[in-house]
Chain A
Amino acid sequence: MSLVKDKSGLYHYAHHSVDTLWVAGSMLAGVTPTTGAGTFPAANLIIYCPVRVTKATRVKKLWIAAQNTAGAPDTLVLGVYGRGGTKLFDSGNITHPATSDEIVANVTNAILPPSLYYLAVTQNATAGTFQRFAPGAPIPAAMGLRTEAGAGGLPATATWVVDNTLNFVPIMGMLLGETVT
């Protein structure tokens, strides 16, 4: 059981998904950027999104919002990093599907103690499209997002930077239950 205080000071129970949509994330709770479909900003770019975990949490799956893609079947990887930049686990390679749905990947029941974590996503090309928030740059940097010009996949240790040009906030998270596939 966990109680989480939201932006208005109210306590409520932790829910089934720790993600970039909820106020329980660590981004700009007062900001409402537009959402919509967008291609991935650059091949092999890694985007790191901060999220708060407020109780010891067993992570069953990772997910990200995908949009139907007519392009090549790009390969993406989802992962979770500690606040110091160490990778804790990742999904392995996932083929971007030609559907508009959540992409869901099982992980090995990782347990996270309460802390700030960074959800990570990278993709090897830009054709694979996602649903995402699209605030103007550099608002995502102010939200605490970081990026890295990756070389394919997710590295063991992040070498992240403040990216004043990023205007793409992935809609992604960690699932604590088994139902969503």
Chain B
Amino acid sequence: MTLKKFYTEPKLDMVSILGPWGPAAIPVQIVPSSSGFEAANRTVYFPISVPVACTVRRFWWVNGATVSGGANITMAIYRTTSGNEPNLRIGTATAVQGAANSLQFVTPANPVGLTPGIYWIAIGSDSNTNTTLFGSGTSTTYDASFRFQEATATPPSNATPTESGTTSIYLCGFSTQSSP
């Protein structure tokens, strides 16, 4: 049965882990709130399903109420080269955490073209002291479905993901537009 001829998926402007292209496996409806980043020097990987060709022009995350820790936040996007897990970093950008309770955008050195497929959004921080992001916890009983982690503040060029040890989902993603 051919479905595609009936169906055209528009390109989104703001792509989020919690948006329509995010992990369908997240089994609960949540309301993100300001909460502390889970651990210093950690990167977390979340899958997204990209159904249409698009370009990553900026990454973004949402700062929580406390940003005085001056954490270095790094975003990245990975594709799978083997094992159906995050492997190869194809774009990244970093910045010191900025204004509280605000979206913060960072621009990669070069736009990253994506073809339809599964990718992984990564967010890492070198601090969890006075470092909050908008996000939500879920459950250790099913976090394997939507996240991996790695003990590094900076998403590396080649990921070595490990089993998730906590349940946080962070409100972050990328924009296919240069502005606003």
Contacts and interface: CB of A to CB of B under 8 A. Distances in A.
A153 interface: no
Contact of B10 (A7, A54, A136, A143): A54
B12 A50 contact: yes
A114 B102 contact: no
A interface secondary structure, majority = loop
B14 A144 contact: yes
A25 B24 CA distance: 15
A115 B22 CA distance: 19
B51 interface: yes
A5 B8 contact: no
Given A30-B29, A139-B32, A164-B102, A144 B12 contact: yes
B101 A3 contact: no
B171 interface: yes
Given A32-B30, A142-B62, A3 B20 contact: no
Given A7-B24, A31-B31, A161 B19 contact: no
A135 to B, nearest CB: 6
Contacts of A83: 13
Chain B interface residue bracket vs A: 20 to 34
B180 A146 contact: yes
B112 interface: no
B24 A139 contact: no
Contact of A31 (B3, B30, B101): B30
Contact of B20 (A7, A33, A114): A7
A171 interface: no
A33 B33 CA distance: 11
Contacts of B8: 54-55, 114
Interface string B28-45: 111111000000000000
B103 A28 contact: no
Interface of B: 3, 6-14, 16, 18-20, 22, 24, 26, 28-33, 49, 51, 60, 62, 99, 101-103, 134, 171, 180
Given A54-B10, A162-B103, 14 more contacts: A7-B22, A23-B20, A24-B20, A26-B13, A29-B18, A29-B20, A30-B26, A50-B14, A53-B10, A116-B11, A116-B12, A142-B16, A143-B14, A144-B19
A65 interface: no
B7 A28 contact: no
Interface in A44-92: 50, 52-55, 83
Contacts of A125: none
B22 A30 contact: yes
A31 B32 contact: yes
B60 to A, nearest CB: 8
Contacts of A136: 31, 33
A47 to B, nearest CB: 14
B101 A164 contact: yes
A79 B180 CA distance: 20
A77 to B, nearest CB: 21
A163 B6 CA distance: 35
Contacts of A8: 24
A52 B3 contact: no
B6 A3 contact: yes
Nearest to A28: B18
